[in-house]
């Protein structure tokens, strides 16, 4: 009996050791499993975000939406155009989750109580050849150059040379912003919005092509997004203010504008998550072509 008891005790001890080992192994393994749940919980966010408004903001919204969907595959982000006024009105009427505007709100629009998120700044520098002696231009002079009313550099303090205007192709977001801000875009006799860029302008398909043309043409003038500037061209001041990101952020450089998201009332969880993404991680996307708010 004593030998049997000894064997039984040995078996029970061995079983206890095995149980403890299994418990410890399971317990240790549970911690990384809990950690692994975090990205799964993020990926589990569902819902839909509808954005409408500024066609200038639209391409950036498309990129931000695509990046957000990579992080949250179950979320749908629908981006529509229509213009800034449509974006503001759609937010006021609550027919979209987010209205997009590429201009400051008017006083009556602000009075409604919309929540504003400035997601980026768009700054566009006026660029000339480094050999050009002109240092500063007014907004009116810029408008007249690009509409063809001023055709010689001597009219604005430069050499007696014909001005070579360089512009982007139609449909370019940079062109759209530039002509709108500088009033090169206006109303025709029938009241329709029209681009009055001079027909003699050299049209280029990219920012790089504009820079190269201006750099290689002594009497050229063009416009370049601030994020793409380099020392191959010279920027002129606009009404005494240098074309820098700092001045664009401060609002003192006139050929700049905010990109704004607008919400009205309580935001859903998915809308909050999207805006938080845009204001933080999304700024890496913003600064590729625009001025980040960070």
Domains (range + CATH), the chain:
47-122+257-286 (3.40.190.10), 123-256 (3.40.190.10)
pLDDT of res. 206: 87
Average pLDDT over residues 56-76: 95
Q: Output 36 or 264, whichever has higher pLDDT.
A: 264
pLDDT at 40: 38
Rounded to 5 degrees, φ, ψ at 77 are -120, 115
Beta strands 136-137 and 237-238, pairing class: parallel
Structure tokens at 273: 């998550």
Confidence band, pLDDT 50/70/90 cuts, at residue 157: very high
The pLDDT of residue 42 is 55
Average pLDDT over residues 277-283: 98
Helices (H), the chain: 2-43, 58-71, 84-92, 107-110, 139-147, 173-181, 207-216, 245-250, 269-279, 283-286
For 120, phi and psi rounded to 5 degrees?
-170, 165
Token digits for 191?
């009241």
Give yes or no for a contact between 290 and 284, defined as CB atoms under 8 angstroms apart: no
Pairing type for strands 115-128 and 256-263 reads: antiparallel
pLDDT for the residue 1: 47
Question: Angle, to 10 degrees, between the axis of helix 269-279 and the axis of helix 58-71?
Answer: 110
Is the pLDDT confidence value at 115 over 80? Answer: yes
State pLDDT tens for residues 35-44.
444 443 455 8
Q: What pLDDT is attached to residue 38?
A: 40
> Are 234 and 222 a contacting pair, CB within 8 Å?
no
Chain mean pLDDT for the chain: 87
Instruction: Say whether pLDDT at 279 is over 90.
Output: yes
DSSP-based helix, strand, coil % in the chain, nearest 5: 45, 25, 35
Q: Coil, helix or strand for 251? A: coil
Q: What is the pLDDT of residue 104?
A: 86
Give the pLDDT score at 139: 98
Going by pLDDT thresholds of 50, 70 and 90, the confidence category of residue 45 is very high
**DSSP per residue, 118-152:** EEEEEEEEEEE-TT----EE-HHHHHHHHHTS--B
| pLDDT above 80 (res 244) | yes
pLDDT at 36: 45
Contact 87, 100 (CB under 8 A): yes
- Model pLDDT, residue 7: 47
Does 31 have pLDDT greater than 80? no
pLDDT grade, residue 19 (50/70/90)? low
| Helix, strand, or coil (residue 190) | coil
* Mean pLDDT, residues 230-258 taken together: 93
Provide the percentage of residues in the chain whose pLDDT is more than 90: 64
Q: How confident is the model at residue 117 (pLDDT cuts 50, 70, 90)?
A: very high
What pLDDT, on the 0 to 100 scale, is given for residue 85?
87
Average pLDDT estimate for 217-241: 94
Q: Using CA atoms, how far apart are residues 173 and 169, in angstroms rounded to an integer?
A: 9
- With bands split at pLDDT 50, 70 and 90, how would you rate the model's confidence at 13? low
Specify the pLDDT at position 43.
Answer: 54
Residue 291 has pLDDT above 70, yes or no: yes
The confidence score (pLDDT) of residue 22 equals 43
């Amino acid at each position: 009996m004593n030998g049997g008891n000894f064997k039984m005790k040995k078996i029970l001890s061995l079983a206890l050791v095995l149980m403890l080992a299994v418990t410890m192994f399971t317990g240790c393994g549970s911690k990384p499993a809990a950690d692994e749940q975090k990205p799964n919980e993020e990926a589990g966010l569902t819902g839909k975000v509808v954005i409408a408004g500024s066609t200038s903001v639209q391409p950036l919204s498309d990129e931000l939406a695509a990046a957000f969907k990579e992080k949250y595959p179950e979320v749908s982000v629908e981006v529509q155009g229509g213009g800034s006024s449509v974006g503001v009105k759609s937010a006021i009427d609550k027919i979209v989750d987010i209205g997009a505007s590429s201009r400051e709100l008017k006083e009556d629009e602000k009075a409604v109580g919309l929540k504003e998120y400035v997601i980026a700044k768009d700054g566009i520098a006026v660029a000339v050849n480094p050999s050009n002696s002109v240092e500063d231009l007014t907004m009116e002079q810029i408008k007249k150059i690009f509409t063809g009313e001023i055709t010689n550099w001597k009219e604005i303090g430069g050499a007696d040379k014909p001005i070579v205007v360089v512009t982007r192709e139609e449909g370019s977001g940079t062109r759209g912003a530039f002509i709108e801000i500088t009033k090169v875009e206006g109303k025709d006799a029938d009241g329709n919005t029209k681009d009055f860029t001079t027909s003699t302008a050299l049209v280029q398909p990219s920012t790089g092509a504009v820079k190269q043309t201006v750099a290689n043409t002594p009497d050229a003038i063009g416009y370049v997004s601030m994020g793409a500037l380099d020392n191959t061209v010279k920027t002129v001041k606009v009404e005494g203010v240098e074309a820098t990101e700092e001045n664009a952020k401060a609002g003192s450089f006139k050929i700049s504008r905010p990109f704004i998201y607008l919400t009205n009332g309580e935001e859903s969880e998915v809308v909050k998550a999207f805006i938080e993404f845009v204001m933080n991680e999304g700024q890496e996307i913003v600064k590729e072509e625009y001025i980040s708010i960070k």
